[in-house]
Structure 1
Amino acid sequence: MLRADAQDNKDRIIAAARALFAERGLDIGMREVARHAEVGPATLYRRFPTKQALIDQAFDVELSSCRAVVEESCADPDPWHGFTSAIERLTALNTRNRGFVDAFLSATPGGAAFERHRRELLAMLAELASRAKAQGRLRPDFVIDDLVLILLAGRGLGSVPPARRDAAARRFAGLAVDAFRAPVIAS
């Protein structure tokens, strides 16, 4: 157990990292995090010897939230509704935290936690997509990389002014859902 002052420093470091990563992505340097947390670099490195250790700790809540969205969507008895719900909720979640999206979708992740979560969640979403295809609601040529592409494109929503971000996320998700909808074949 940490002393109270050490725990306070750790909490401030995590809060600073979350705020900076969410706003500006993962290109933030460790010294900038230390300045923002009002601690010295030695204090930061004592608690988080690597940037990846800080990223893992800073995004622990986001990983749990992302997993909950996917699990709830996959549990929906209507696969199409579950699939569209996942798109809408993940898009909304991702607009709030640029750094998390960068870490989660990175082609070369540094953290085992992100790699494991990404692999597991994408497998769950691929299974959900297969059920939505079998239902005839999801376009037959859909592949899971299409969803990854939408999530990557949605990163740009973080640059929308905060007052308009939720509306932009809903609109973007709606357009993505329309793009994934199976075509109606006239009889």
Structure 2
Amino acid sequence: MTRAPRLDREHNRLRLTTAAARALRQDGLGVSMRAIAREAGLGIATAYRHFPTKNDLIEAVLAEQVAACTRAMQLAVAEPDPWTGLTKVLAWFAEVQIEHPGLLRVLLDSPAGDVPFAQARQAHGEALHRLVATARAAGRLRPDVTTDDVRVGMMAMTAFSGRPDAQAEAAVRALHRILVRGIAADPS
């Protein structure tokens, strides 16, 4: 008998984090817990039972994003060709920006020392640095391109979160193409 309530609890938690991700994408950080609960099809009391504060819910949504980033970085670093690994990470980042524009802005704007994500962010930064260094060493990246250059290009993609979806998507895709061509040793 204890299994059904546990499954229901996990299902409700998933509904809340999914609804919160959608609501954050559409309305930003100003979205209320009540609106998120309504979007999830749950009562406000259920929402607060799972997440005592809106910050707890946002942190849970960001944790899912951080875990996805960790998986993407691990796959990229494991890629035999460092250029392919780097371009896969850049393409993944662009797609996430299109799918969840507000989430990346929130995650990237949080102080680097934030306890919940500090270790993961450091590992992501180290993986990006490793990808840039190995792609440069392989002659696939322009010799003057640094990790910070790549990071600035990625950050530029987050600047379009306030625009209508079609405009933001087109801008992010254009920036992605410009970034990849701009850092490539051979842009053709």
TM-score above 0.5, yes or no: yes
The one-letter amino acid paired with 1:148 is: R
Q: Deviations over 1:68-110 (max 9, x none)?
A: 2211111122212221221122211221002320233124269
Equivalent position of 2:57 in the other structure: 54
2:120 aligned with 1:117, yes or no? yes
The answer to which structure, 1 or 2, has the higher relative contact order (CA under 8 A, 6+ apart) is 1
Q: Distance in 2 between matches of 1:50 and 1:7?
A: 18
Instruction: Report the equivalent of 2:29.
Output: 26
The one of 119, 123, 129 equivalent to 1:126 is 129
Gaps spanning 5+ residues in structure 2: where?
none
Contact 1:22 1:99 in 2 (8 A): yes
Match of 2:109 among 106, 110, 128: 106
Give the one of 164, 171, 176 matched to 1:173: 176
Partner of 2:88: 85
Asked whether the equivalents of residues 72 and 92 of structure 2 are also in contact (C-alpha less than 8 Å), the reply is yes
How many Å apart are 1:123 and its aligned residue? 0.7
1:59 deviation in Å? 3.8
- Partner in structure 1 of residue 15 of structure 2: 12
Instruction: Report if aligned partners of 2:98, 2:168 keep a CA contact under 8 Å in 1.
Output: no
Secondary structure in 2 matching 1:25? helix
CA distance in 2, matches of 1:17, 1:96: 13
1:107 & 1:57 partners in 2: Cα distance? 14
Q: Quick one: structure 1 residues 134 and 10, their matched pair in 2 at CA, closer, same or farther if it must change by over 3 Å?
A: closer
Q: 1:24 to 1:110 in 2, by over 3 A?
A: farther
* Deviation for aligned residue 1:46: 2.2
Change over 3 Å in CA distance of 1:129–1:80 after alignment to 2: same
For the aligned residues, what is the CA RMSD? 3.1
- In structure 2, relative to structure 1, the CA distance for the partners of 1:27 and 1:109 (3 Å cut) is farther
Q: 1:95 corresponds to which letter in structure 2?
A: I
Question: Structure 1: which 4+ aligned runs deviate by more than 4 Å?
Answer: 4-9
2:149 match: 146
CA contact (8 A) 2:62 2:107 kept: no
Partner SS, residue 48 of structure 2: helix
The structural deviation recorded for 1:38 is 4.5
Provide the residue aligned with 1:161 in structure 2.
Answer: 165
For residues 12-62 of structure 1, what are the alpha-carbon distances to aligned partners after superposition, in whole Å with 9 as ceiling and x for unaligned?
A: 322321211233333323333234335444432221123332123224443
Aligned with 2:48 (options 27, 45, 69): 45
Q: Are the aligned partners of 2:34 and 2:44 in contact in 1 as well (CA < 8 Å)?
A: yes
Question: In the superposition, relative to structure 1, how do residues 68 and 27 fare at CA in structure 2: closer, same or farther (>3 Å)?
Answer: same
Tell me the matched-pair count. 183
